[in-house]
Structure 1
Amino acid sequence: MPLSGLLWMAILISIAMMLLLPRPHGLRAFIAASILRLIYSLGLQPTLTLLGTANVCNKILFLVSFVGNRGTFTRGCHALLTELDFLYHVFYLFVCAGALLTHELLYSLLLFDLVYREETLLNVIKSVTRNGRSIVLTAILALILAYLFSIVGFLFFRDDFVLPIDRPHGHIPLHDAAARVAYPTDTCSSAAESCSTPSSTARYRSQFLHDDPSSMTEGLERSCDTLLMCIITVLNQGLRNGGGVGDVLRQPSKDEPLFTARVIYDLLFFFVVIIIVLNLIFGVIIDTFADLRSEKQKKEEILKTTCFICGLERDKFDNKTVSFEEHITQEHNMWHYLYFIVLVRVKDPTEYTGPESYVAQMIKEHNLEWFPRMRAMSLMSGEGEAEQNEVRGLQEKLEGTMRLISQLSTQLTDLREKMTEQRTQRERLGLLRSPVPPHPYTSRLPTV
């Protein structure tokens, strides 16, 4: 009863949250409280069946609305089958239906929807798929190197590939298996079995130790008698161990003739395969994830500092009558543009106004010239006033310059007149002061 009361209280609180604060958190709290109430009242199995049925119906309605909104029905089956989002939701529907009809554990596959919705987790997947070709080629190089090391191991170090094993013991009880799996004893497998007769485990061990020539000691097994087994061992044990394949091979004595070759073999595998090749793969993945994260941060920074509609940056609105926040929320609100595009698409073309007809034609042609690129009404009005002030100032300066020019022209005219008068006076004075030249006839008269 106290738990039932708490659940009812949680439902009432979530309803109050939805009414007072109409936000998604209130609805989520109400859904969670309702599910817990159903589990408490009906049980887990009926609640899962009810929720699964509701989920299938919801997904069918979602697919119908999704296809209708995307216009996939009008584009044909090819567009329908190549739409990745549509295929994802179809797979989601099949998983829900399969979990409802077969087993509830299939609902665990729906947890991958978190990767589809969360961009950070999606970038984790893209870090592997974006440079998938580089990763695959590097992995092929790792396989080639492992194959070469397997050949060397098969030819020269076949006896060093001895690995510890844990063989199954089906007759050992479950509570004794942990204590006897490594070193099984020769006890009787049942009460009816004579203790003088070797048990099945003893017979199996005797056959393993004496009849099988590939066995060395109890719990050990040779794993490189064939080239295929060498390749499998190198890939399985060498790539999974931090020190390479040398961590699982037999430790040789320094007196053995191939001790130096074995050391070189282990070190080469460690440096070439573990340190270089595997780290190349990890480096490609990490670098791709870092690039995706930097691209995401750059996009977020652009959206914060640049208008989505006109492309003007925040610093263009410094010391202006309209701030950048007012500009992106009132003048160039991107949701208003989206609503206008939806209006143009759903409105009857015969009822278009002039601007609506123009925008509809631009949208049909996939032309973005109707967007105010690098322009804003507030900046244009402010710039117009500033330009008028500048023109007014230039006009005043021009008038002052014209007055100075007229004064200079008057002074030059006066100066020219004075110079002309002075030149005329000098010419007159020169004529008066110059001597009279002798007449040619008077110079020929005889003297008395």
Structure 2
Amino acid sequence: NKALFWFSRHISHWGSISFYLACLLNICVAVFYPFGDDGDEILSSFNCVLLWAALSASIALLPVLPKPWGILFFLVFLILRAIYTMGLGPALLLLGTLFNKLVFLVSFVGNQGTFTRGYKAVVMDMLFIYHLGYAIICVLGLFVHEFFYSFLLFDLVIREETLLNVIKSVTRNGRSIILTAVLAIFLVYFFSIIGFLFLKDDFRMEVDEDEGTERVCDTLLMCIITVLNQGLRNGGGVGDILRRPSKEQEPLFAARVVYDLLFFFVVIIIVLNLIFGVIIDTFADLRSEKQRKEEILKTTCFICLERDKFDNKTVSFEEHIMYEHNMWHYLYFLVLVRVKDPTEYTGPESYVAQMIAEKNLEWFPRMRAMSLVSNEGDNEQNEMRLLQEKLESTVTLVAQLSAQLSELKEQMTEQRKHKQRQGLLGPPQNNH
């Protein structure tokens, strides 16, 4: 299907256009809502001429400017012209990203092959469900209320991996975070009971300047709500919203100090920082995992070996992954084997088709490369030549050492003979 192929081929463009249109929609809603209540949609004659000139210039420069920016400027001026010509309501109908999102869904189905895998695959495909929900929000924005368009901005989280990791840093260790939060609630409940029993009169909050303060711990439930709401949101804990005690007139002054300090250290410093620590550590792990993946992609061939195996070789790593083991060439070959008539297979194609049917990956040249194999013979010859040269130098050195040893042996023999002659010809000893 040529139309489906064309839509599927430009899926990245449809996704980008959907996001940019969502941003423009929300900018229009933020600037002009409520619609028709003022003269925002009426331009002066000078501004009208200026806008027409800008639109004409963007059309003229469309072939000259870089493709994304030229199209973006053209769309911005076209949308502004449509707003001030037709009004904001019809312009929003024109801008409604429903049609573009439907085109994106068609291209997504073409790329993923969703419907060819059956109804269950459609239901279980979370990305398809997400994009279908995106289209439903576009319908709600068109026919129910314009504020539904604000939900379209969350598409940025799916488009950017960094923001997605921020969400994953909370969800990956969600159980640890929930258990720590439950512990914090238990501690708040414990401190609420102590406050209700002994410090009930200190729980006074300012309402306004006229009415002064009111008691907020007459019941245990109100005490729990106050400690949970005010205690966790204040940097110093629950002590920031309680009445300041008098050192001389309060019999429980020391207990109040201990109560405030315990809540601050246990709940604010320890428990809340435990939650923040889990989130920060998870985000750091996700960032390290992303860096490791990028390092593997940069330093490892998709098919065979690592980058360092191609050091000091006739073929560089970049040439190898581009011409010898290009992963897209393997993909094209797989598609060729799937679509080609089996009666027209060559020998290698028949072998690969059989391996694919058996789900066997042995036909991939794992841990092998033709450029390295062709260089092995030259490397062996070079190694043999080096070994022969070392052997010859070793033989020469051994011969030199043997000559030196023979000469040294002769010298020692001469010295021994000389000492023996001196001993025989020496002066006789005197008899006493």
State the TM-score, normalized to the length of structure 2. 0.74
State whether residues 67 and 73 of structure 1, in contact with CA within 8 Å, keep that contact through their aligned partners in structure 2: yes
Q: Determine if the alignment matches structure 1 residue 290 to structure 2 residue 284.
A: yes
Q: Identity of counterpart residues, as a percentage? A: 72
Paired amino acid for 2:186: I
Distance 2:76 2:349 in 1: 45
In the other structure, the counterpart of 1:106 is 148
In the other structure, the counterpart of 2:63 is 15
In the other structure, the counterpart of 1:194 is none
Distance 1:302 1:341 in 2: 24
Distance 2:291 2:101 in 1: 33
CA shift for structure 1 position 84: 0.8
In the other structure, the counterpart of 1:34 is 78
Unaligned runs of 5+ in 2: 1-48, 393-432
Paired amino acid for 1:359: V
Distance 2:267 2:281 in 1: 20
2:373 to 380, 387, 396: 380
Paired amino acid for 1:2: L
In the other structure, the counterpart of 2:246 is 253
**1:139-158 mapped onto 2 (5 Å cutoff):** 139-158=181-200
**1:396-407 mapped onto 2 (5 Å cutoff):** none
CA shift for structure 1 position 365: 4.1
SS at match of 1:164: strand
Paired amino acid for 1:81: V
Distance 2:212 2:180 in 1: 36
Q: Determine if the alignment matches structure 1 residue 51 to structure 2 residue 99.
A: no
Distance 2:254 2:352 in 1: 80
CA shift for structure 1 position 24: 4.1
1:108–1:41: structure 2 CA closer, same or farther, 3 Å change rule?
Answer: same
State whether residues 58 and 70 of structure 2, in contact with CA within 8 Å, keep that contact through their aligned partners in structure 1: no
**1:199-218 mapped onto 2 (5 Å cutoff):** 218=211
CA-atom RMSD, angstroms? 2.6
Distance 2:357 2:108 in 1: 22
SS at match of 1:335: helix
SS at match of 2:63: helix
**1:203-233 Cα shifts (integer Å, max 9, x gaps):** xxxxxxxxxxxxxxx2311111111101100
SS at match of 1:387: helix
CA shift for structure 1 position 78: 2.6
Distance 2:197 2:388 in 1: 98
SS at match of 1:296: helix
1:361–1:12: structure 2 CA closer, same or farther, 3 Å change rule?
Answer: farther
In the other structure, the counterpart of 2:54 is 6
1:110–1:357: structure 2 CA closer, same or farther, 3 Å change rule?
Answer: farther
1:230–1:318: structure 2 CA closer, same or farther, 3 Å change rule?
Answer: same
Distance 1:83 1:100 in 2: 26
Paired amino acid for 2:348: P
Alignment coverage as a number of residue pairs: 345
1:110–1:153: structure 2 CA closer, same or farther, 3 Å change rule?
Answer: same
1:279–1:40: structure 2 CA closer, same or farther, 3 Å change rule?
Answer: same
CA shift for structure 1 position 130: 0.5
**1:366-396 Cα shifts (integer Å, max 9, x gaps):** 4332222222111111112222454677799
Distance 2:344 2:254 in 1: 90
In the other structure, the counterpart of 1:353 is 346
Paired amino acid for 1:236: N
In the other structure, the counterpart of 1:276 is 270
1:332–1:40: structure 2 CA closer, same or farther, 3 Å change rule?
Answer: farther
CA shift for structure 1 position 111: 0.6
State whether residues 227 and 238 of structure 2, in contact with CA within 8 Å, keep that contact through their aligned partners in structure 1: yes
Q: Determine if the alignment matches structure 1 residue 319 to structure 2 residue 315.
A: no
Distance 1:24 1:332 in 2: 32
SS at match of 1:253: coil
SS at match of 1:386: helix
In the other structure, the counterpart of 2:234 is 241
State whether residues 4 and 40 of structure 1, in contact with CA within 8 Å, keep that contact through their aligned partners in structure 2: no
Distance 1:336 1:236 in 2: 60
Q: Determine if the alignment matches structure 1 residue 328 to structure 2 residue 370.
A: no
State whether residues 15 and 30 of structure 1, in contact with CA within 8 Å, keep that contact through their aligned partners in structure 2: no
CA shift for structure 1 position 330: 1.7
CA shift for structure 1 position 40: 4.2
CA shift for structure 1 position 146: 0.5
Unaligned runs of 5+ in 1: 167-181, 184-217, 400-448
1:75–1:134: structure 2 CA closer, same or farther, 3 Å change rule?
Answer: same
**1:56-105 Cα shifts (integer Å, max 9, x gaps):** 22322332443344333343333221111011011101101110111122
Distance 1:310 1:48 in 2: 53
State whether residues 169 and 286 of structure 2, in contact with CA within 8 Å, keep that contact through their aligned partners in structure 1: yes
Distance 1:3 1:101 in 2: 29
State whether residues 202 and 242 of structure 2, in contact with CA within 8 Å, keep that contact through their aligned partners in structure 1: yes
Distance 2:372 2:79 in 1: 54
State the TM-score, normalized to the length of structure 1. 0.71
1:340 to 333, 356, 366: 333
